[in-house]
Amino acid sequence: MPTLTFQLNDVPDGGMRTFDLGDALVLVTRDGDAVHAMNGRCPHAGANLGEGVRCGDRVVCPWHHATFHAASGALTEPPALQGLAAYTVTRDGAQCTVDPAVPLERPAPAPQGRPEEHTVIVGGGPAGFMAAQTLRQEGYAGRVTLLTAEPHAPYDRTALSKGYLSGKVQEADLPLGGPDWARTHGVDLRAGTRVTAIDRASGRVTVSGTGTFTADRVLVSTGSQPVRPDRPGTALDGVFTLRTLEDARALRDAARGADLVIVGGSFIGLEAASSLVQTAASVTVVAQEDEIMSRAVTPAVGRAVRRLHEEHGVTFRLGAELDRLDGDGQAVTGVTLRSGETLPAGVVLLGTGVRPVTDLLGDAADEKGAVHPDALLRLDPDTLAAGDIASAPTVLGEMRVEHWRVALQHGMVAAYTLLGRAGGADGESMGGEGTDVRVPFFWTQQYGKSLRYVGHAESLHDTACWGDPDAYDFMEFTFDGDRTVVASAMGRDRALAAFAELLRMGRAPTPTEIRAGEFDLVERLTA
């Protein structure tokens, strides 16, 4: 692998740049005479980090907003699961040389906590996984037991409706952290273990058939489960929800050559439609709303994405309400709408929402099933709640967010809380900040095009758009009074990453500024 040689002024002061060596992409950051080099590709999905943004000590990936420390490459925000390999920079005057074939060895973290401590994590989704991983990466010396009802180690659930259904991602590629993650991280993984009770006062966690665990601290991250609408026929064979690997495997096999009807016009159903349209005989999406994705984007954006689906053969019934699922006594044969129209269906996917699984937390849950931890995710000093079940503070106020990256963020926050380091380990570790400085973010990919979404809004009554949704090149903003609280975008990754950082710092442009016309959000960030 060749070495990299460059001049100090080739990298802007306070900025960053990537250099392509063919076999390696090297990211270089500079602050005055201090120069640092690291792997230039995001370990999450391989994006060129030089096409993202730098905000102080943060380097933000343009695709999915994983964030790394600008000097060390340490991970500060998921969805990446580890930091960047760092390289030695040698200086001869203004000339700098980097050898990417020799990464720096990171010192082992100092032991944290006592070996006799026991942390039990209930739930093997992204929050539980990230908490366990962060505890070990930060030197936690106690026992970590992860209990999950699924018969698998934690895996990438985001791939199920995208690459897995389409056949581009195989089951062997799904495990988070690789196939041997639990052993290499010293995690006692108990897959296929159903927790039946948690006694928060004593720390006892009861599991079905195998007794109890006694914990010093318990993290509950039990996620969500799909909601089946109260309509006749939803229990027929051939009717699916999509949450687990088993769900995805069965749906993929059943849809091959079948007439598939998807009930629900939000992201999970649309991703499944784009993944299965090549193998199903037909795909029809039924939605009550007048346009798809109507809770997140305006009709103009929804129409543009719908047109993309229609160009690939998906048909839609909008403003249509499900009346019943028809069958032959055992298997589904059709979907009847309130209008009286019946659609032939050999397979039905119900993308009709989820509800948080908080039965184990009893009266801590509100009427909607959510629990309300503080910014450090504590329900009480020894019980934490994270992920889909937690309505927690964010930069935009308290909310429950069913997004993959948010759940991973919660896992990091929970780990630092368990370590007693809520302020972060040092200048290179920001994961210990609370949820109240976190920005909600999610993405969807359909037919190779990505829609990315930053922030949260309860309604879309006040919006503005830069660019052209029909060209898949736009940023759409949502306002709440005199605040800009959401930006969604296609084809403007760097600008969206800049907006996310501005929102995080309380510097988002105002509605008046945005309505006045387009300007460079990256320049605004670095001004």
Residue 429 has pLDDT above 70, yes or no: no
% of residues, the chain, pLDDT over 70: 98
Gap between the Cα atoms of 183 and 70, Å rounded: 31
What are 477-485's contacts with CB under 8 Å, separation 24+?
Answer: 477/511, 477/514, 479/511, 479/514, 482/510, 482/511, 483/508, 483/510, 483/511, 484/455, 484/508, 484/509, 484/510, 484/511, 484/514, 485/396, 485/455, 485/456, 485/457
Where does CATH 3.50.50.60 sit in the chain?
118-225+355-437, 239-351
- In a 3-state reduction of DSSP, which class is residue 170? coil
Q: What is the CATH number of domain 239-351?
A: 3.50.50.60
Q: How far is CA 325 from the centre of its chain?
A: 32
Task: Provide CB contacts within 8 A for 14, sequence distance 6+.
Answer: 30, 31, 54, 526
Condensed to tens digits (0 to 9), the pLDDT of residues 477-494 reads: 999 999 999 999 999 999
Using the structure block, give the residue that is written with the tokens 């009480």. 380
Predicted confidence band of residue 227 (pLDDT cuts 50, 70, 90): very high
pLDDT at 442: 96
Task: Provide CB contacts within 8 A for 78, sequence distance 6+.
Answer: 44, 66, 126, 130, 405, 408, 409, 411, 412
Task: Provide CB contacts within 8 A for 215, sequence distance 6+.
Answer: 118, 119, 120, 145, 203, 204, 205, 382
Condensed to tens digits (0 to 9), the pLDDT of residues 2-15 reads: 999 999 999 999 99
CA dihedral 65, 66, 68, 73 (to 10 degrees): -130
Residue 430 has pLDDT above 60, yes or no: no
Where does CATH 2.102.10.10 sit in the chain?
4-103
Q: What is the CATH number of domain 4-103?
A: 2.102.10.10
Please give, one letter per residue, the 3-state secondary structure of 437-450: HCCCEEEEEECCEE
- In a 3-state reduction of DSSP, which class is residue 3? coil
- In 3D space, the residue among 147, 121, 202 whose CA is nearest the CA of residue 417 turns out to be 121
Give the type of residue at 441: F
pLDDT at 428: 45
β 53-55/58-60 pair status: antiparallel
Residue 280: C-alpha distances to residues 220, 264, 399, 430 (Å): 38, 18, 37, 46
Average pLDDT in the chain: 96
Which helix (H) or strand (E) segment is 309 a member of? helix 299-311
- In 3D space, the residue among 204, 186, 184, 185 whose CA is nearest the CA of residue 195 turns out to be 204
Predicted confidence band of residue 327 (pLDDT cuts 50, 70, 90): very high
Residue 111 DSSP one-character state: P
246 class by beta-carbon count within 10 Å (0-12 exposed, 13-18 middle, 19+ buried): exposed
CB neighbours of residue 185 within 10 Å: 17
What sign does the CA torsion over 283, 287, 289, 292 have?
A: negative
CATH class of 118-225+355-437: alpha beta
Cis omega (within 30 of 0) for bond into 78 = no
Bridge partners, 115 (sequence order) = none
Condensed to tens digits (0 to 9), the pLDDT of residues 490-524 reads: 999 999 999 999 999 999 999 999 999 999 999 99
Condensed to tens digits (0 to 9), the pLDDT of residues 349-360 reads: 999 999 999 999
Condensed to tens digits (0 to 9), the pLDDT of residues 55-93 reads: 999 999 999 999 999 999 999 999 999 999 999 999 999
pTM of the predicted model, to two decimals? 0.96
Predicted confidence band of residue 424 (pLDDT cuts 50, 70, 90): very low
